[in-house]
């Protein structure tokens, strides 16, 4: 859990006890967001203050009448700029969609948050069309890391992570196609959860990859993510956390363990040591098939193929308005034929089957969420080679889980005073509730260690 920041459950308790109202809470977060903008902060692309306060007043009235929809009732949440909100334009932080018609209905994920009583504060900045793990945006500006303004916040859900880190929202709705929730969570010292792709409908969201896109939360704790995921998925997430003693964790040096920053490696190894000391079985296993992924995805992979399908007409009409680095990655999909796409699907099925066998002995698979700490922004803005090389390294570990149709948490595991490092706690399709339960136990253990 991020230090000195109240969790969603803390805020819900404050609301229930009358220590604060939803209007007061919303006003505080809007004031921080306005102050952030006044200091040239670009985490939000738009704020919806009047509507948010109207929702907060209605929430307070409902609570006074004994109606509390969920633990999210009255809690301010930020929304990534690719989700439809009725009456608003979903631009995906791109000029190419800036003049699109306003949405006639909420996206399913947004409607579910609204039904749970959440207060929608505004739309958050992102990598254009969600197609980068770095969070740079030449149109709306690049959100910078709240812990070191010379560094990136990570992408593509960059603005969402910054809104949570700077207490401009209690949680953020993001998406994750190759790591776009977990990367900014890891870089900003937050917790992010990428669910199994099929668990949260993406109706009403600008797509990147129809097979790999997932919608999920960035917040201050595993419990916050579980509360948000319960609302988004409609699933009942159990609140109990197992004892760490006797849990079985596997990690591999194959692919996801290579070329890891010294600081990241040190934090990861320390986390493994803490788990072992608490009685967990933590052992290394071999997963050499992961080394095939660069070849499998050598033509741009499923993301480029599926992004090209959606963007081809828009690129023809408005290609000059795109971030040209994003446009170049999308156009790689034009080079793939139907046979190439089917080869990708076959390779994915094969690796998923192998993963089931490799991971069968373990309750969860652990890896560094990202191989490096948040890099500095300046070199990435002006050097295409540095941008693409860094983007590939940042996405490498997280994208494995999307390719394998899995689910994963990123929880902070750095020592006090160091740049944030994320610990990836990963599972396969349908193991969402198990990963959230294990994540609670691991988070509690790591928090005790860090603050000791």
CA–CA separation, 272 vs 254, rounded Å?
17
Catalytic, 22? Answer no
Which is catalytic among the residues 2, 22, 78, 80? 80
CA–CA separation, 185 vs 412, rounded Å?
8
Helix 384-403 × helix 324-331 angle, to 10°: 50
Give the side-chain half-sphere CA count within 13 A for 199. 29
CA–CA separation, 61 vs 47, rounded Å?
23
Which is catalytic among the residues 22, 91, 157, 180? 180
In the numeric block, which tokens belong to residue 108? 């399913």
Q: 20 to each of 24, 26, 30, 148, 348, how far by Cα in Å?
A: 6, 10, 15, 31, 49
Which of 378, 372, 421 is CA-nearest to residue 271? 421
Catalytic, 3? Answer no
Alpha carbon 217 to its chain centroid, in Å, reads 6
In the numeric block, which tokens belong to residue 227? 């509360």
Which is catalytic among the residues 22, 59, 132, 156? 156
Catalytic, 180? Answer yes
In the numeric block, which tokens belong to residue 401? 């889980």
Question: What is the SS3 string spanning 94-137?
Answer: CHHHCCCCCCCCCCHHHHHHHHCCCEEEEEECCCHHHCCCCCCC
The residues annotated as belonging to the active site are 80, 156, 180
């Amino acid at each position: 859990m991020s230090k000195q920041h109240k969790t969603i459950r803390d805020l819900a308790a404050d609301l229930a006890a009358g220590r604060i109202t939803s209007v007061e809470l919303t006003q505080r977060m809007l004031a921080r967001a306005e102050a952030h903008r006044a200091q040239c902060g670009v985490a939000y692309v738009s704020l919806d203050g009047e509507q948010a306060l109207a929702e907060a007043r209605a929430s307070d009235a409902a609570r006074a009448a004994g109606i509390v929809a969920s633990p999210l009732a009255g809690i301010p949440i930020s929304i990534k700029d690719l989700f439809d909100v009725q009456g608003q334009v979903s631009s995906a932080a791109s000029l190419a969609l800036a003049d699109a018609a306003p949405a006639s209905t909420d996206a399913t994920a947004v409607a579910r948050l609204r039904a749970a009583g959440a207060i929608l504060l505004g739309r958050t900045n992102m990598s254009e069309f969600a197609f980068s793990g770095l969070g740079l945006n030449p149109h709306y500006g690049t959100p910078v890391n709240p812990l070191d303004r010379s560094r990136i916040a990570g992408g593509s859900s960059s603005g969402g992570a910054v809104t949570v880190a700077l207490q401009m929202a209690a949680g953020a709705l993001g998406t994750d196609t190759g790591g776009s929730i977990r990367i900014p969570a890891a870089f900003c010292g937050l917790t992010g959860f990428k669910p199994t792709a099929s668990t949260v409908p993406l109706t009403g969201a600008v797509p990147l990859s129809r097979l790999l896109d997932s919608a999920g939360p960035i917040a201050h704790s595993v419990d916050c993510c579980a509360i948000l995921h319960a609302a988004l998925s409609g699933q009942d997430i159990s609140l109990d956390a197992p004892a760490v003693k006797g849990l079985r964790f596997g990690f591999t040096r194959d692919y996801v363990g290579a070329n890891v920053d010294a600081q990241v490696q040190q934090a990861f190894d320390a986390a493994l040591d803490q788990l072992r000391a608490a009685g967990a079985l933590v052992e290394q296993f071999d997963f050499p098939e992961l080394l095939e992924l660069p070849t499998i995805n050598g033509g741009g992979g499923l993301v480029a193929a599926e992004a090209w399908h959606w963007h081809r007409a828009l690129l023809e009409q408005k290609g000059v308005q795109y971030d040209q680095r994003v446009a170049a990655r999308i156009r790689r999909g034009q080079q793939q034929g139907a046979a190439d796409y089917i080869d990708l699907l076959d390779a994915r099925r094969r690796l998923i089957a192998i993963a089931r066998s490799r991971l069968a002995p373990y309750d969860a698979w652990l890896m560094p969420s990202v191989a490096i700490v948040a890099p500095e922004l300046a070199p990435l803005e002006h050097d295409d080679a540095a941008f693409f090389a860094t983007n590939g390294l940042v996405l490498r570990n997280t994208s494995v889980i999307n390719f394998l149709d899995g689910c994963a948490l990123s929880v902070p595991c750095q020592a006090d005073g160091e740049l944030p490092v994320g610990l990836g706690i990963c599972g396969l399709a349908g193991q969402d509730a198990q990963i959230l339960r294990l994540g609670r136990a691991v988070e509690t253990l790591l928090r005790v260690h860090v603050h000791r």
